[in-house]
Chains A and B, each alone.
Chain A
Amino acid sequence: MSRRVLLHVGCPKTGTSYLQDVLFRNQATLREHDILYPADRFDAHFLAALDLMTLPWGGLETEAVGSWDRLSAEVRDWHGTSIISHEIFARATPTQVERALASLGDAEVHLVLSVRDLVRQIPAEWQENVKHRSHITYARFLETVRDPGRESKIGSWFWAVQEVPDILDRWGASLPAEHVHLVTVPPSGSDRGELWRRFSHTFGLDDLPLDLTAERENPSLGVPETSLLRTINQRVTSILSPPDYRPLVRELLAHQTLSRSVASARLGLAPDDHAWAQDLSRSWVALLAERGYDVAGSLDDLLGPDLGTFADPDTASAEVLLPPALDAIGALLVEAARLRAVEERLHEELREAHEERDRARMTTSYKVRRKVVTTLEDSPAGRGTLDAYRRMRGRG
């Protein structure tokens, strides 16, 4: 029976990809120290979350059937500490939370929520939307997020996975405060290892010989790059299906090409939005401080950076968009050339197979047998005879 389950349920854009990558690659080492991270593929816990929450996800959900039950069964069977981690668990409803916690058996459940200030989360979530096919402008996105009715899909999703007190109410209502752990993302400019140290401390991974090389991250984009991607989405999302969009636009263009421009201006908030976000964050900090959760870092991290220079992605000029656009064209041409080479190789293999088949058909006996078969196939009686012959020869 598992003694402890560390259930990391969010939030998105808080360094979760890096954490999950480290956990995935170090499964064997973790097991040696009685820590289970049960995943046969990198996105195993993402699929479990889709399954638990009945969330379609551009076709990926068909790979998720039964994955929550499998994951929770492995956790129940483990004698030591288990870790479950995916940021979209943050969206679970109270009924789904009840089911999730019940399926973990009698283990001592610790809830982990990694959190970052809204001043950085709001632009990051807009970028994430743009990387997931959306072409909503930044101004419209902010309006949507600030709409108290949360009528749109984007608004309701944003708050479901970013409204820290609500997530803690849904996931932590049945847990004692000391079993709820907040990991705050350090302010911009902090030491790069600081977030990992907070995660490591909370998950009890200190002093373990883990390979911490960053193999998989979810890199952010600069202002012109995001603006370009949004413009591209306007043109292509209605004609490019998700299975094509994922490798060509999100992976190739966004992650592998446009995210390399580290010198580009980073996206922030305009003064009015900045003040609103900080006011809201202050109210959250006060509430969280009262609840007495365990905090790795400081709740003050949630207030976010001071107001900086705001570069508006909705007004990026053609001149600014040109360099990343050329980078994008270059990357797509290289990819098209690679795919052409693959196609050519496949054609070559097919040609060889056809030639081999044709050589086999050049014999006289084949030609005679073929003539007999085609003659017989032209009449019902002939087809019946052929059928009987094939059955007799076991070729039926």
Chain B
Amino acid sequence: MTGSRAHSWVAHLRAGGTTPWLAWSDASPDPRAPGPLPGAQQLELLRRINLASSARPRGDHDRERTRLADRVLAAPAAGRGKADLPLVGLDAPGFGPRPVDPSELSAHELLRVASAVLADDLGALGPDPVRTTWARPWRLRFRLVGDPVVVGTLRADLLARGRPEGGPRPFVVAVGAPLDDLLARTWTQRCFETGTMPWPEWLRFWRGRDQLPPRADLLASVRRWNGRRPFVRIVTDLDLLPRQVGVRRLPEVRVPGADQAELARRVAAVVGLRVPAAERPALMRTLQQRIPASGVAPIGVPSRERDWVAASAERMSRGLSRAGYSVVGDLADLAPRTASAAGGSGGADDRQVLDLAIRMVVDTGWRAGGRRPHEVERQVEQ
């Protein structure tokens, strides 16, 4: 069988077609000069994107759709996995990777391409501006450490309200949470910053060292800022947090779902190759603010890690207690929650992540200028 059937299928997909490769028999020549055949990963992702967008009206969208198709077909399968795979049923030279039926490719393979497309989308969108206003001279001086998802949201909100962090003799306010949540949110936030290793490996890394990651270790965080006892507050009751930073109310905090975090992790790896290191945090922050809601629960610590997490929480509580810092709430609240222990790896399913990625490629609402999604994600349990 010749490559003309494959090129004809590529033309079909570029035009928004959704026929699977094995059901495709047309071999009419492609009027475009046929370049190298894209890999099965790119072609199948495009077909899935076409399927997802087939409900949308055509007409004006045609040119946009072709442009998107060309970007998908040219996108690399990011990472050190399989290179572009050939299609089954074509003349094979007897060497090279084994040809595949694209519809049988795993979600993981398709995600490698989708994350590259989304990283380019994010780069083209650029970072959202940081909202700031003049710093209130009478503001309380504080330094936020601890739960990175909560702290990140609060820091941005307080900056926008003229209450930036820092200043002379600040109170070090350590925001605590049950340690399993704290670990999960630390990994989640890393995904929306520089990216990191997969959730199970990340947990194994810290458990293997019997250490806590710097931001989840409240005692180490306070010491890093040279917090002296009268100027340190350990906050485990989030209702009482506003007063510690000199305001009456604080915004709701969205904790990204497991699929959102995993997608961000993959996108961050590609963004790292697309923009200078200094620009990546702002782009990833923009993604965090704009990523569409999916209703998937945040990542959870697997039950097999519970003993280690419980022992670490106990050790941290002991250390904080011995240091004599003021506690707003109860140090017992740092203990992991029995009910939240997750089975399996506690991470997202690749298919959920792929669904979200395809939705973001097809529905460009999240890239609409200046606006942020209004969907309210799961709230931080208080």
A57 to B272, CA, bound (A): 11
Chain B contacts for A387, CB-based, 8 A: 135, 137-138
Partner of A56, one of B73, B79, B84, B209: B79
Q: Which residue of B lies closest to A381 (CB)?
A: B138
**A365 in the interface (beta carbon within 8 A):** no
Q: Flag if B95 contacts A97 (CB, 8 Å).
A: no
Q: Flag if A95 contacts B79 (CB, 8 Å).
A: no
A56 to B196, CA, bound (A): 11
A254 to B71, CA, bound (A): 42
Q: Flag if A94 contacts B169 (CB, 8 Å).
A: no
Q: Flag if A97 contacts B82 (CB, 8 Å).
A: no
Q: Flag if A156 contacts B137 (CB, 8 Å).
A: no
Q: Given A61-B272, A93-B76, A165-B93, is A384 in contact with B98 using a C-beta cutoff of 8 Å?
A: no
Over the window 305-347 of chain A, the binary record of Cβ atoms lying under 8 Å from chain B Cβ atoms (1 yes, 0 no) is: 0000000000000000000000000000000000000000000
**A225 in the interface (beta carbon within 8 A):** no
Q: Flag if B273 contacts A150 (CB, 8 Å).
A: no
Q: Flag if A160 contacts B81 (CB, 8 Å).
A: no
Contacting residues of chain A (83-128) with chain B, CB-CB under 8 angstroms: 91-98
Nearest CB in chain B: distance from A46 CB, A: 13
Partner of B96, one of A56, A62, A163: A163
**B154 in the interface (beta carbon within 8 A):** no
Chain A contacts for B356, CB-based, 8 A: none
Nearest CB in chain A: distance from B279 CB, A: 9
Chain A contacts for B35, CB-based, 8 A: 95, 98
Q: Flag if A377 contacts B141 (CB, 8 Å).
A: yes
Partner of A241, one of B78, B137, B138, B205: B205
Q: Given A54-B116, A384-B138, is A157 in contact with B96 using a C-beta cutoff of 8 Å?
A: no
Over the window 54-73 of chain A, the binary record of Cβ atoms lying under 8 Å from chain B Cβ atoms (1 yes, 0 no) is: 11110001111100000000
Q: Which residue of B lies closest to A242 (CB)?
A: B197
Nearest CB in chain B: distance from A247 CB, A: 18
Chain A interface bracket (under 10, 10 to 19, 20 to 34, 35 or more): 35 or more
**A373 in the interface (beta carbon within 8 A):** yes
Q: Which residue of B lies closest to A97 (CB)?
A: B36
**A193 in the interface (beta carbon within 8 A):** no
**A169 in the interface (beta carbon within 8 A):** yes
**B80 in the interface (beta carbon within 8 A):** yes
User: Which interface residue of A97, A156, A374, A381 has the most chain B CB atoms within 10 A?
Assistant: A156
Over the window 255-290 of chain B, the binary record of Cβ atoms lying under 8 Å from chain A Cβ atoms (1 yes, 0 no) is: 000000000000001101111110010000000000
Q: Flag if A93 contacts B96 (CB, 8 Å).
A: no
Q: Flag if B269 contacts A239 (CB, 8 Å).
A: no
Over the window 24-67 of chain A, the binary record of Cβ atoms lying under 8 Å from chain B Cβ atoms (1 yes, 0 no) is: 00000000000000000000000000110111110001111100
User: Which interface residue of B82, B93, B137 has the most chain A CB atoms within 10 A?
Assistant: B137
Q: Flag if B83 contacts A65 (CB, 8 Å).
A: no
Q: Given A93-B76, A156-B97, A383-B137, is A56 in contact with B272 using a C-beta cutoff of 8 Å?
A: yes
> What is the interface size of chain B, counting residues whose CB is below 8 A from a CB of the partner?
44
Q: Flag if B76 contacts A53 (CB, 8 Å).
A: yes
User: Which interface residue of A54, A55, A388 has the most chain B CB atoms within 10 A?
Assistant: A54
Q: Which residue of B lies closest to A159 (CB)?
A: B97
Chain A contacts for B272, CB-based, 8 A: 56, 61-62, 65
Q: Flag if B116 contacts A150 (CB, 8 Å).
A: no
Chain A contacts for B169, CB-based, 8 A: 374, 377
Q: Flag if B273 contacts A65 (CB, 8 Å).
A: yes
Partner of A91, one of B83, B270, B280: B83
Q: Which residue of B lies closest to A164 (CB)?
A: B95
**A380 in the interface (beta carbon within 8 A):** yes
Nearest CB in chain A: distance from B35 CB, A: 6
Nearest CB in chain A: distance from B226 CB, A: 12
A53 to B74, CA, bound (A): 12
Contacting residues of chain A (346-396) with chain B, CB-CB under 8 angstroms: 373-374, 377, 380-381, 383-384, 386-388
A241 to B205, CA, bound (A): 8
Chain B contacts for A373, CB-based, 8 A: 168
A80 to B303, CA, bound (A): 64
Over the window 83-116 of chain B, the binary record of Cβ atoms lying under 8 Å from chain A Cβ atoms (1 yes, 0 no) is: 1100000000101111000000000000000001
Q: Flag if A384 contacts B84 (CB, 8 Å).
A: no
**A148 in the interface (beta carbon within 8 A):** yes
Partner of A153, one of B74, B80, B140: B80
Chain B contacts for A94, CB-based, 8 A: 36-37, 84
Q: Which residue of B lies closest to A377 (CB)?
A: B169
Q: Given A55-B80, A156-B97, is A95 in contact with B74 using a C-beta cutoff of 8 Å?
A: yes
Q: Given A65-B273, A93-B39, A387-B137, is A150 in contact with B98 using a C-beta cutoff of 8 Å?
A: yes
**A188 in the interface (beta carbon within 8 A):** no
Q: Flag if A239 contacts B209 (CB, 8 Å).
A: yes
**A189 in the interface (beta carbon within 8 A):** no
Q: Flag if B83 contacts A95 (CB, 8 Å).
A: no
Partner of B82, one of A57, A156, A374, A381: A156
Q: Which residue of A lies closest to B115 (CB)?
A: A54
Nearest CB in chain A: distance from B337 CB, A: 26
Nearest CB in chain B: distance from A88 CB, A: 10
Q: Given A53-B76, A54-B270, is A166 in contact with B82 using a C-beta cutoff of 8 Å?
A: no
Q: Flag if A157 contacts B37 (CB, 8 Å).
A: no
Q: Which residue of B lies closest to A93 (CB)?
A: B84
A381 to B140, CA, bound (A): 11
Nearest CB in chain B: distance from A138 CB, A: 21
User: Which interface residue of A53, A56, A92 has the most chain B CB atoms within 10 A?
Assistant: A56
A386 to B93, CA, bound (A): 78
Chain A contacts for B79, CB-based, 8 A: 54-56
A95 to B277, CA, bound (A): 26
A266 to B82, CA, bound (A): 30
A371 to B208, CA, bound (A): 48
Chain B contacts for A238, CB-based, 8 A: 201, 204-205, 208
**8 additional contacts (CB under 8 A) given A54-B116, A62-B273, A157-B80:** A53-B76, A55-B273, A63-B277, A96-B76, A148-B98, A239-B205, A383-B139, A383-B141
* Chain A residues proximal to chain B, CB less than 8 Å: 50-51, 53-57, 61-65, 91-98, 148-150, 153, 156-157, 159-160, 163, 165-166, 169, 238-239, 241, 373-374, 377, 380-381, 383-384, 386-388
- Show 25 A/B contacts (Cβ-Cβ < 8 Å), sorted by A: A51-B273, A53-B76, A55-B273, A56-B270, A57-B80, A61-B273, A62-B280, A65-B273, A93-B36, A94-B36, A95-B73, A96-B76, A98-B36, A153-B80, A156-B83, A156-B97, A159-B96, A160-B97, A169-B95, A238-B201, A239-B204, A377-B141, A377-B168, A377-B169, A388-B137
Q: Which 10 A-B pairs have the closest CB atoms?
A: A387-B137, A94-B36, A239-B208, A380-B138, A384-B137, A93-B84, A54-B76, A166-B96, A384-B138, A156-B82
